[in-house]
């Protein structure tokens, strides 16, 4: 049911935990399953993401998706990180079962929320970045 990569990132998550003095933090949740994901970014003066970590209170797929998402955004500029979508995360994980697609969406939203927080704190406009909702969104997606 789960790919080897999903199992690998679930059993051996990368970049798990809080960041001390992060540049920004984004927290999102899914009201239907109750899972919550938080992403921490450390961004340098060139707007490159030096470090990205996560804390996820949720299912195994959400843990794997957060772990992969942190790996994908590390080393990217904040603008490039915006292009990491749930599809990117799913592809990098060699897929997720349909009922778990929303878990990867949570990862995309958590990154966006952290990028938004960064933009706010630095008076920056990141093209294409939209203000996150209230942090906890209700839409679990049709496939849930």
Catalytically active residues are 33, 103
Q: Choose between 57 and 121: whose C-beta lies nearer to ligand FES.
A: 57
**Cα(73)–Cα(114) distance, integer angstroms:** 11
Q: What is the DSSP letter of 98?
A: G
Residue 111 in the binding site for ligand FES (CB under 6 A): no
Query: Taking CB under 6 A as the rule, does residue 106 contact ligand FES?
Result: yes
CA distances (Å), 129 to each of 61, 87, 113, in order? 25, 17, 9
Options 23, 30, 67, 86; binder of ligand FES; rule CB under 6 A = 30
Q: Does 35 bind ligand FES (CB under 6 A)?
A: yes
Helix (H) or strand (E) holding 88: helix 86-92
Angle among Cα 23, 88, 13 to the nearest 5 degrees reads 60
E strands, 31-133, are: 36-43, 49-57
Binding mask 46-85 for ligand FES (x = CB under 6 A): ------------xx-xx-----------------------
Q: Is residue 108 at the binding interface for ligand FES, with CB under 6 A as the rule?
A: no
Piece in contact with ligand FES (CB under 6 A), picked from 42-50, 73-81, 100-108, 126-134: 100-108
Sign, Cα dihedral of 124, 126, 132, 135: negative
Q: Which residues bind ligand FES (CB under 6 A)?
A: 30, 33, 35, 58-59, 61-62, 100, 102-103, 106
């Amino acid at each position: 049911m789960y790919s080897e990569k999903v199992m690998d990132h679930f059993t051996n998550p990368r970049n798990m935990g809080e960041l001390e003095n992060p540049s920004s933090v984004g927290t999102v949740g899914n009201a239907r399953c109750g899972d919550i994901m938080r992403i921490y970014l450390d961004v340098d003066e060139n707007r490159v993401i030096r470090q990205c970590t996560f804390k996820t209170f949720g299912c195994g797929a959400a843990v794997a998706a957060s772990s992969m998402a942190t790996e994908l955004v590390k080393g990217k500029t904040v603008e490039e990180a915006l292009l990491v979508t749930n599809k990117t995360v799913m592809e990098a994980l060699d897929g997720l079962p349909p009922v778990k697609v929303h878990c990867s969406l949570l990862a995309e939203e958590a990154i966006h929320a952290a990028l938004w927080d960064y933009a706010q704190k630095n008076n920056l406009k990141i093209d294409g970045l939209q203000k996150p909702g209230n942090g906890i969104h209700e839409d679990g997606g049709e496939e849930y």
